[in-house]
Amino acid sequence: MRKVLFQMRQVTLNPCMAAPFGGVFTLCGETRGFYVTDSPPQRALREVRRIFSSHMTQMVLLAMVILLGISGPFGTLQSMTLGPRLAYWAITAPLTFALGIFVSTITGEALRGKVAIWAARALTAGAAAFAIGICVTLLNWIAFGIAPFEISYVGPLLVSVIAAAAVIALAAQYLWDNASPTGAQIDAPPALLERIELGKRGALISLSVQDHYVEVVTTKGTSLLLMRLSDAIRETGQIEGLQIHRSHWVALRQVTEARRKGDRAVLTLADGRELPASRSNVKALKDAGILPK
């Protein structure tokens, strides 16, 4: 009875322990269940935020707004003066761009591995273009009072907007898929970091098994994810690292000291922690130059 009361008290004091019983990991910042509850719309929203946070994206959108405001495509040159036209495109361009990214991300994930690459590109571009066409039609309804039921107006508008958006989306996908690797792409944050809190997405230091979780340690903090160590290691991307123990993986750049301890080894990491290296992994550490040969 005393043991049961102690366990109940522990669950009450530590809401992280209660999470596995409920299946939803929302009570503790350290064990947020991105691995379980992360949905395609959430990932698409993160992609939109990531792209829009780029200064290059902001500059391109500003240039597009100015160009569209001056040129006045899709009848806006005849129906609006310069000021209202710039305001119209300042709303329409970012909104349709964000919608295109959102729809493309969700559609691309849904089609990945299920159809040929060319078919996935076409369907993704088509879905994004259709969504943008509907969005522009609704915006024009709000801005000009032109109901979307007037086929003589909406029909040509949808055809021209969808065609233009589809061509742009296809070109963007082609350039993205066939771009040569750059330093920025090689140094891109690993996918694993997208599973943890934004404030803790620093340089990856180590991964360690903690019961059914993986403890992810970065230069900005520690988080727990419900996943296997092998799956976490696969998501470390381009980071150079080694699994030094059945329960530990380290980023090689974060190793500040290494010493032998019998037929095993002990590594000191940049945050001051020490992790053991098993005997079977000593050779890999020597090959990596962490231990002397």
Q: Percent helix, strand and coil across the chain, each rounded to 5?
A: 60, 15, 25
Question: What residues have CB less than 8 Å from 107, skipping those under 6 apart?
Answer: 123, 124, 127, 128
Query: Which tens digits make up the pLDDT trace of 144-153?
Result: 777 777 777 6
Q: How confident is the model at residue 257 (pLDDT cuts 50, 70, 90)?
A: very high
Name the pLDDT band for 157 (thresholds 50, 70, 90). Answer: confident
- Give the mean pLDDT of the chain: 79
Whether 87 is in a domain gets the answer yes
Rounded Cα gap, residues 88 and 143, in angstroms: 8
Inter-CA distances, 211 with 157, 181, 226, 227, 228, Å: 58, 38, 9, 10, 10
CA 225, CA 206: separation in Å to the nearest integer?
13
pLDDT 10s digits, 73-106: 877 888 889 998 899 899 998 999 899 889 988 8
Q: Quick one: tokens of 224?
A: 């727990």
pLDDT of residue 187 exceeding 90: no
Residue 222 lies in a domain: no
pLDDT for residue 135 is more than 60: yes
d(CA 243, CA 69): 55
Those residues with Cβ within 8 angstroms of residue 197's Cβ, 6 or more apart along the chain or in another chain: 29, 32, 221, 223
Residue 242 located in a structural domain? no
Structure tokens, 72: 């006045």
Q: Is residue 45's pLDDT more than 90?
A: no
Residue 128 belongs to a domain: yes
Amino acid at 18: A
Q: Quick one: pLDDT at residue 11?
A: 39
Identify whether 273 is part of a domain.
no
Query: 114 pLDDT exceeds 70?
Result: yes
Higher-pLDDT residue of 242, 180: 242
Q: Report the alpha-carbon distance of residue 248 to residue 217 in Å, rounded.
A: 11
Residue 75's domain spans which residues? 40-179
pLDDT at residue 265, as a whole number: 95
For the ranges 4-8, 101-105, 115-119, 244-248, the maximum mean pLDDT occurs at: 244-248
For residue 233, being part of any structural domain is answered with no
Overall average pLDDT of the 27-31 stretch: 38
C-alpha–C-alpha distance, residues 39 and 271, integer Å: 33
* Residue 77: predicted pLDDT: 84
How many independent structural domains does the chain possess? Answer: 1
Residue 245 placed within a domain: no
- Is the predicted pLDDT of residue 242 greater than 50, yes or no? yes
Q: Is residue 173 very low, low, confident or very high in pLDDT (cuts 50, 70, 90)?
A: low
Q: Is the pLDDT of residue 180 over 80?
A: no
- Listed ranges 112-116, 185-189, 255-259; the one with the highest mean pLDDT: 255-259
- Residue 92 falls inside a structural domain: yes
Encode pLDDT of 218-233 as tens digits.
999 999 999 999 999 9
Whether residue 28 is predicted with pLDDT greater than 60 in this model: the reply is no
Contact predicate 124/173, CB 8 Å = yes
Residue 116 has pLDDT above 70, yes or no: yes
What string of DSSP letters covers 217-259? EETTEEEEESS-HHHHHHTTTT--EEEEETTEEEEGGGEEEEE
